[in-house]
Structure 1
Amino acid sequence: MRKWLWCVVMLCSLPGLRGVCHGAGFKVSEQGAKAMAMGNAFAAQADDPSALYFNPAGIAFLSGFQVNLGALGIIVPQTEFRGTTPLSGTAPLDTGTTTAVEHSRRDIVIAPTLYASYALDTLPLCFGFGVNAIYPLSKSWSDSSVFRNQVQIASIKPVNFQPTVAYRFDDLNLGVAAGIDVTYAVVSLQKSLYSPVVDPTAPAPPFGAYELGSLGVDGTGTDVGYNFGLLWKPRSDLSLGLAYRSKITLGIEGDANYLATTPTGMGAIGLADSAVFPYTRARASSRASATIPLPDTLDVAVAWRPTRKLTLEFDATRTGWSSFKRLEFHFDAPQFAALNNQPDARNWRDVWGYKFGAQYQVNPRLALRAGYSFDESPVPNETVDPLLPDADRHSFSVGAGIGNALGTVDLAYMWVHFVDRTVHNQDMTTLRGANGVFKSDAYLLAANLNLKF
């Protein structure tokens, strides 16, 4: 019985923790309005303190004390799904073949950023400190949706702290930098649980979708990584950038709460199921732990200034999502003992993103910007789900910078269009997956204030 509950929980619910964000996978690269307006092609320019994220070596060329304050607003896409799921139809028996049209809930996520740099007067040395959120997003579907057994509400609220030091070799016009990443994240998940059989202890027809109850998981995790960057300016009109950010493995610690709402749900945690339906209610809780890998990234970039006013840049970014091979949870309470040491395969793949950006300096006070990027999805067809209906995506952005020698205000807008994702991974034995098409779009707004002292 407990092994069966593991199938429901691990195969259906816990994968939700790995997809609460979007980007390439669930990475959000929009960490500065200037860069975002140029399609995030910024690792070879890196000429304001937000370089701490894109290429920390850029701060080696900054002067004095500079502070960059900003915020990114993400309108979470109202994903549309058309097709069948294990719960589409009339439960418990007539499910899995009825076509449904479902929309996720809209949401807005605000992710603030803070970057600061201080260059010494006597040495070509600069210190930096950044605070950002590389993985902020949420996803939720209605409590009555056909995906309610796969996800209802999921969110991740991270914060990353990055102290950095950079040095400039004036003879070579070369900047180098290294820093530490300390990432803390709060994770939450809520969903309904269903069984494909009415008696999990003796699986037999009739097969369908039988309600068990609901599950909630809340946890936090912290880990440390590192980053480094190189920025070389061999000519006044050309700069080359290289940046690397290491993998971070978050150790999630928290609580799991399960509420049985049917006799079958009570039996799933080893309790008597003799109470008269529908008045059955029983709650079980446990400490829970897991590890979630955040991948390493490598950026290679070139920026060219064909004229005094025009800057063009191209970046290529590799994200090492192949490190996300599986997800495995451990529960401490006796009722959950059989759920331990059961890996859930993910098998994501490494992917590339390609970014193009341009800036035109109209006059000393006004700069106009535009950009385009293409990101591959790391999620294979077998593990696409309603929590992260990920797909290859095209991003288009515009923006402007207004300011003077003392400070600049940067504004940016980005439209992210996800290529329609067709999936055929519906599994009636685990009641997860779907057969159909996911459609998504996202809209991002960013503003930054850069001050020079």
Structure 2
Amino acid sequence: MATHLSCLRRPLATRATLMALPVLAVPVLAIAGATGAAAGGFGLREQSAYYQGYSFAGTAAGGDGLASMFWNPAALSFSPGLNMEANVTWIAPHASIDVYRATGPLFGNNLGNVGIGDIVDDGAVPATYITYAWDRIAVGLAVNAPFGLITDAPCNWSGRYYGCYSRIFDMNIQGSIAYKVNDWLTLGAGFNVNYIDARLSNAQILSAAPLTFGAAQVDGDSIGYGINLGALLTLAPGTTVGLGYRSQIDQGLSGTITPLILNNPVAKLPAQAGLTLPDQATLSLRSKLTPNFTVLGTVEWTNWSTVQELKVESIAAPDSVLNLQWKDGWFFSGGVEYQWDPKLALRAGLAYELTPVPDATRSPRLPDTNRLWLSAGFTYAVTEKLALDVAYTHIFGEDAPIALFPTEPANALRGSLVGSVNDGYVDIVSLALRYKFDSPVSAAPVYTK
């Protein structure tokens, strides 16, 4: 963040920049684990209890879980008639930040070694899906949260100039349609409306003459739009391959910067920051090897390299640019399902995710690292129409360094912070209810399970 003449440019850069950085999502609370969120960058993968039991293997290849439409609109569950699914996921992340060395801005004074025992908060993520199918056409509606982040540190810790509190709310509404071209090919498309609201804070120099230390808070929101495309191929009865694509969404965050002295606001300044939410491609396989045994797999690419720098603009201060240099994110998962009896299906999954955040730009606002997923779950058919999905996941986050210095122009008024992210893990519990209403006589399934 560049420095403001007296009190503006730094707040603007810091606030707005960060406002763009953690753009997140969660209809209730977004969560970020030691691994950033429960997915790479500030993404949230927790859209479905059904697929969570597989560690999200097979997401774009269809199945009983209606959430498949999120990854691939062609994979709308073409169960005849009207179907509904309601999910709620509780995410309990943990991440510690140890501080080896921290200095203040301008004078390089020693800020001590006060770290944070747990910088991330727990939260709930809801997701709802509705589908309707007749003949060769199916339509669907989804309301969920594709991104998310909450980090919370007291503004007296040693890294306070690099972040204190970050809260971001995001909601996504997706409408989708799929058409069965023939017995082996289904195509789909969707449209997304994404809303983001953010509040971020950190310590900073508010004025150079006289020299005044304090904090600043930024509030902003935005609405953006995107599309989904997908194809579902039925290679054989019980075997499907799905390919889905979610487009980039451009967000123009606008709001205010509020400098604070002893937690009291001294001004409100208009600010804006641009952010491009990344596009994503998902390739999945689902194959029923026997009447009771199914295997699944997914490879997913997320174009986080769109987040190279964040530019903050304000009529009250010069533009400020933060250099991030994020890389593309990758997710690999495999899962199995065993139909224990007509009412009970058991599933398990394993996944590995590569963080898009380089060591050189890792921040306490988003302490994202590589992670390993282990998941288990089950579906219990309460009745012929009503099913209950339950899943549990434990994510192991890798330790990773934090090394931020004022030699980077964006950090000129932040001093230095050298430390590490460690003891990172996330526990996730997800529940869902799926209900099938009466089916119209003319409805025809699009793919064979």
Give the TM-score taking structure 2 as reference length: 0.86
Question: Conserved in 2, the CA contact under 8 Å of 1:7 and 1:430?
Answer: no
What's 1:220 paired with? 221
What's 1:283 paired with? 266
What's 1:452 paired with? 436
Question: Conserved in 2, the CA contact under 8 Å of 1:79 and 1:441?
Answer: no
1:360-379 superposed matches below 5 A? 360-379=338-357
What's 2:54 paired with? 38
Identity, % of aligned positions: 24
Question: Conserved in 2, the CA contact under 8 Å of 1:164 and 1:177?
Answer: yes
- Which residues of structure 2 form unaligned runs of 5+? 25-31, 438-449
User: CA RMSD for the aligned pairs?
Assistant: 2.5
Question: Conserved in 2, the CA contact under 8 Å of 1:78 and 1:441?
Answer: yes
What's 1:67 paired with? 84
What's 2:363 paired with? 385
Counterpart CA distance in 2 for 1:15 and 1:108 is 24
CA-CA distance at 1:425 after TM superposition? 2.8
What's 1:267 paired with? none
Question: Conserved in 2, the CA contact under 8 Å of 1:135 and 1:156?
Answer: no
1:330-369 superposed matches below 5 A? 330-332=313-315, 337-338=316-317, 340-369=318-347
Asked if residue 324 in structure 1 is aligned to residue 290 in structure 2, the reply is no
Question: Conserved in 2, the CA contact under 8 Å of 1:43 and 1:55?
Answer: yes
Asked if residue 110 in structure 1 is aligned to residue 116 in structure 2, the reply is no
**Which has the higher mean CA deviation after the structures are superposed, 295-304 or 59-68?**
59-68
Aligned to 2:377, what secondary structure does the other structure show? strand
Q: Which has the larger radius of gyration?
A: 1
What's 2:94 paired with? 77
Q: Which amino acid aligns with 2:429?
A: L
Asked if residue 409 in structure 1 is aligned to residue 388 in structure 2, the reply is yes
**Which has the higher mean CA deviation after the structures are superposed, 371-380 or 55-64?**
55-64
Higher relative contact order (CA 8 A, sep 6+): 2
What's 2:176 paired with? 164
Aligned to 1:85, what secondary structure does the other structure show? strand
Question: Conserved in 2, the CA contact under 8 Å of 1:25 and 1:379?
Answer: yes
**Which has the higher mean CA deviation after the structures are superposed, 50-59 or 242-251?**
50-59
Question: Conserved in 2, the CA contact under 8 Å of 1:10 and 1:344?
Answer: no
Q: Which amino acid aligns with 2:145?
A: A
Question: Conserved in 1, the CA contact under 8 Å of 2:96 and 2:421?
Answer: yes
Aligned to 2:83, what secondary structure does the other structure show? strand
Q: Which amino acid aligns with 1:253?
A: S
Counterpart CA distance in 1 for 2:265 and 2:188 is 55
Counterpart CA distance in 1 for 2:150 and 2:391 is 22
What's 2:405 paired with? 426
What's 1:151 paired with? 163
Change (3 A) 1:101 1:48: closer
What's 2:137 paired with? 125
Question: Conserved in 1, the CA contact under 8 Å of 2:51 and 2:65?
Answer: no
Counterpart CA distance in 1 for 2:180 and 2:417 is 53
Counterpart CA distance in 2 for 1:409 and 1:107 is 27
What's 1:399 paired with? 377
What's 2:110 paired with? 95
Counterpart CA distance in 1 for 2:55 and 2:158 is 35
CA-CA distance at 1:94 after TM superposition? 4.2
Query: CA offsets per residue over residues 362-394 of structure 1, 9 Å max, x none?
Result: 011101111111111111222111011111111
Aligned counterpart in structure 2 of residue 295 of structure 1, from 274, 278, 281: 278
Q: Which amino acid aligns with 2:389?
A: D
Query: CA offsets per residue over residues 236-259 of structure 1, 9 Å max, x none?
Result: 142111000000011111111112
Question: Conserved in 2, the CA contact under 8 Å of 1:47 and 1:61?
Answer: no
Change (3 A) 1:389 1:328: same
Change (3 A) 1:11 1:255: closer
Counterpart CA distance in 1 for 2:286 and 2:292 is 13
What's 2:446 paired with? none
Q: Which amino acid aligns with 1:182?
A: V
Change (3 A) 1:82 1:95: closer
Question: Conserved in 2, the CA contact under 8 Å of 1:12 and 1:432?
Answer: no
Counterpart CA distance in 2 for 1:433 and 1:14 is 20
Question: Conserved in 1, the CA contact under 8 Å of 2:304 and 2:326?
Answer: yes
Question: Conserved in 1, the CA contact under 8 Å of 2:131 and 2:138?
Answer: yes
Question: Conserved in 2, the CA contact under 8 Å of 1:11 and 1:430?
Answer: no
CA-CA distance at 1:9 after TM superposition? 3.2
Counterpart CA distance in 2 for 1:81 and 1:289 is 33
- Which residues of structure 1 form unaligned runs of 5+? 203-209, 263-280
Change (3 A) 1:148 1:431: same
Question: Conserved in 2, the CA contact under 8 Å of 1:60 and 1:167?
Answer: no
Counterpart CA distance in 1 for 2:152 and 2:335 is 33
CA-CA distance at 1:87 after TM superposition? 4.9
Aligned counterpart in structure 2 of residue 16 of structure 1, from 12, 15, 18: 18
What's 2:427 paired with? 443
Change (3 A) 1:2 1:94: closer
CA-CA distance at 1:141 after TM superposition? 0.6
Counterpart CA distance in 2 for 1:446 and 1:349 is 30
Counterpart CA distance in 2 for 1:118 and 1:16 is 40
CA-CA distance at 1:99 after TM superposition? 3.9
